[in-house]
Amino acid sequence: MPASRSVDMLVVGAGFAGLYMVHRARGLGLDVEGVEAGAGVGGTWYWNRYPGARCDVESLEYSFSFDDDLQQEWEWTERYATQPEILRYIEHVADRFDLRRSFRFGTRVTTATWSESTSRWTVETDAGDAYDARFLVMATGCLSMPIDPQIPGLDTFAGEILYTSRWPHAEPDLVGKRVGVVGTGSSAVQSIPLIAERAAALTVFQRTPTYAVPAHNRPLDPEEQAAVKARYAELRAEARQMAIATGSRVPRIDASAMEVDDQIRHQRFEQAWEWGGLPFLGAFNDLIIDPAANETAAEFVRTKIREQVSDPEVAERLTPRQVIGCKRLCVDSGYYATFDQPHVRLVDVGATPIDAVTPTGVRLGSEDHEDIELDVLVLATGFDAMTGALDRIDIRGRDGVTLRETWAAGPKTYLGLGVHGFPNLFTVTGPGSPSVLANMVVAIEHHVDWITDTVAHLDRSGQATIEAEPEAQEQWVAYVNDVASFTLFPTCGSWYLGANVPGKPRVFMPLIGFPGYVQQVADVTADAYRGFTLA
């Protein structure tokens, strides 16, 4: 084994979470190092460079709040920033706080092993480095491990295969090409209108139709930005009071969709549609709880889809039937209208399955074959969410038990922050915390602040380790499931449930409700870290 470098804390990942963790750990005076698989900082925004990639929480809110000078200085140019702008922002943060020097880039952590005798983690990488760390912080991302779709013949394709989640740094030339896109989730919805502008022919292979609400993206008016910055602290505090990320500057009403008449309901949906984006789901307070209320919202969006697509058959295929919001709502800029263009074709692979990828394209249908010739195949096939990146590392806790075994029937954590049997290991936005249902930058800041305070507390009180207790963990997992069962979230095969990964246990992974969660974490901490053993 290589000689290991001894550190107080090792951080895996250099996205929002890893960068902020390194910054805070330095503030504690810790010797901290980071390891990142990508060649640079940015995480999600380093990897997902596909055309149209942008945030769907407004830029003024999808950004760090920990440093007032930073948030006052940075000027966003659009309501929803594009990937290049978000990446520039993260790079600016890395430089401003001199964070890059703590990271080893282009290096993947492969194993992490707890030593009972030293009470430390030994961590190895694919570059042959080894670290010996007191604390191990997994800032590995909820949506960082892409799925490799199992389509027969994929490796025989003679054209170019592009993953939205690993888009090349040199922009591929799609002009005049015959392009196929597999998938209709967020990345597909964002990229399809722009791919259609370049391609000579575009075929979209759809398994499940998607609900998308218009972004109404626009340049940010400097006066609007100044007004937000004048009361940033207040707005950030309001953002932390949102149960599910929607946006804090949104007019909202605290009423059930079922307690108003049809006309008022319709007006309210029209207003939310005009506002645009994820706040649509906040048009009433029960859209994701009551099936009847949800159906009114779903039907409103279905009508909007039909209005945007002139061919009724295509419109029908694009129209979802399931509960709206059960899968992550997409925010679009011209997605449905793209299917009105003569060179764009929608293939419903539910009705006509992909038989195989061939050297020249995609073969459809098992009996009456149809060959669709393609130069480029874009795979917008999603992520092994929330557990994927952790699952790929061989993490061994007490008695050599692996995290994979511990999570074989679904992830188990206490507060989404710690796992029994894995002392001094922290998961930033881990399963069992609001994570992907919150504005993730807000969720990340909350977790990193808690980890920082906890490490400081351990040192002040002369304790070496912190570990989740098994009963507290069991109760927490049950609680996360109970909360989900009061909503419509578990009613569809979403990635929140692991349903997009063959063989993955179906467990609802994020906790619904950010403000309540923050209070629970504060209560646990104030109650002498109830449910954790400090030793």
Q: Shortest gap between Cβ of 106 and ligand FAD (angstroms)? A: 9
* Residue of 37, 287, 403, 417 interacting with ligand FAD (CB under 6 A): 37
Q: Shortest gap between Cβ of 527 and ligand FAD (angstroms)? A: 28
Position 508: which residue type?
F
Three-state DSSP at 219 gives strand
Q: Shortest gap between Cβ of 257 and ligand FAD (angstroms)? A: 25
Q: Shortest gap between Cβ of 469 and ligand FAD (angstroms)? A: 26
Phi-psi region of 493 (alpha: psi -120 to 50; beta: other; left: phi over 0): beta
* CA geometry: angle 312, 315, 319, nearest 5 deg: 135
Q: How far is Cα 481 from Cα 474, in angstroms, rounded to an integer?
A: 11
* Residue of 7, 10, 30, 57 interacting with ligand FAD (CB under 6 A): 57
For residue 322, give the nearest of 294, 347, 287 by alpha carbon.
294
Per CB under 6 A, 43 contacts ligand FAD: yes
> What strands, in cross-sheet order, belong to the sheet with 370-373?
354-358, 361-364, 370-373
Q: Which residues contact 330 (CB under 8 A, 6 or more apart)?
A: 56, 185, 186, 189, 190, 210, 211, 212, 213
Three-state DSSP at 468 gives strand
Per CB under 6 A, 48 contacts ligand FAD: yes
* Residue of 144, 184, 206, 308 interacting with ligand FAD (CB under 6 A): 144
Q: Which is nearer to ligand FAD, 187 or 338 (CB)?
A: 187
Q: Which is nearer to ligand FAD, 17 or 133 (CB)?
A: 17
Site for ligand FAD in 286-315 (CB under 6 A): none
Per CB under 6 A, 187 contacts ligand FAD: yes
Secondary structure of 266-315 in HEC code, one letter for each residue: HHHHHHHHHHCCHHHHHCCCCCCCCHHHHHHHHHHHHHHHHHHCCCHHHH
Q: Shortest gap between Cβ of 59 and ligand FAD (angstroms)? A: 9
* Residue of 23, 38, 235, 498 interacting with ligand FAD (CB under 6 A): 38
Position 189: which residue type?
V
* Residue of 23, 52, 62, 162 interacting with ligand FAD (CB under 6 A): 62
- Whether residue 466 contacts residue 458, with contact meaning beta carbons closer than 8 Å, is answered with yes
Candidates 14-22, 65-73, 219-227, 455-463: pick the segment binding ligand FAD (CB under 6 A).
14-22
Candidates 54-62, 128-136, 289-297, 512-520: pick the segment binding ligand FAD (CB under 6 A).
54-62
Q: How far is Cα 8 from Cα 20, in angstroms, rounded to an integer?
A: 16
CA distances for 106 relative to 12, 36, 418, angstroms: 12, 6, 27
Per CB under 6 A, 90 contacts ligand FAD: no
Contacts of 92-97 with CB under 8 Å at 24 or more apart are 93/19, 93/64, 94/14, 94/19, 94/41, 96/70, 97/19, 97/23
Buried/exposed 431-469: b ≥16 CB within 10 Å, e otherwise: bbbbbbbbbbbbbbbbbbebbbebbeebeeeeeebbbbb
* Residue of 358, 439, 454, 500 interacting with ligand FAD (CB under 6 A): 439
Candidates 43-51, 220-228, 469-477, 509-517: pick the segment binding ligand FAD (CB under 6 A).
43-51
Per CB under 6 A, 444 contacts ligand FAD: yes
CA distances for 135 relative to 199, 373, 532, angstroms: 49, 52, 15
Candidates 150-158, 233-241, 304-312, 437-445: pick the segment binding ligand FAD (CB under 6 A).
437-445
Q: How far is Cα 227 from Cα 146, in angstroms, rounded to an integer?
A: 39
Q: Shortest gap between Cβ of 15 and ligand FAD (angstroms)? A: 2
Site for ligand FAD in 96-115 (CB under 6 A): 108-109
Candidates 52-60, 321-329, 336-344, 511-519: pick the segment binding ligand FAD (CB under 6 A).
52-60
Site for ligand FAD in 333-392 (CB under 6 A): 389
Position 271: which residue type?
Q
* Residue of 7, 9, 10, 16 interacting with ligand FAD (CB under 6 A): 16
The DSSP secondary-structure symbol of 337 reads: H
Per CB under 6 A, 245 contacts ligand FAD: yes
Q: How far is Cα 139 from Cα 432, in angstroms, rounded to an integer?
A: 15
Q: Shortest gap between Cβ of 261 and ligand FAD (angstroms)? A: 34
Q: Which residues contact 360 (CB under 8 A, 6 or more apart)?
A: 158, 159, 371, 373, 374
454: Cα within 13 Å, side-chain hemisphere: 32
Q: Which is nearer to ligand FAD, 143 or 305 (CB)?
A: 143
Per CB under 6 A, 402 contacts ligand FAD: no
Q: Which is nearer to ligand FAD, 74 or 157 (CB)?
A: 74
* Residue of 143, 181, 323, 455 interacting with ligand FAD (CB under 6 A): 143
Per CB under 6 A, 13 contacts ligand FAD: yes
Q: How far is Cα 194 from Cα 200, in angstroms, rounded to an integer?
A: 12
Q: Shortest gap between Cβ of 232 and ligand FAD (angstroms)? A: 18
* Residue of 17, 60, 182, 347 interacting with ligand FAD (CB under 6 A): 17
Chain positions contacting ligand FAD, by CB under 6 A: 12-18, 35-38, 43-44, 46, 48, 53, 55-57, 62, 108-109, 139-144, 187, 245, 389, 393, 428-429, 439-440, 444
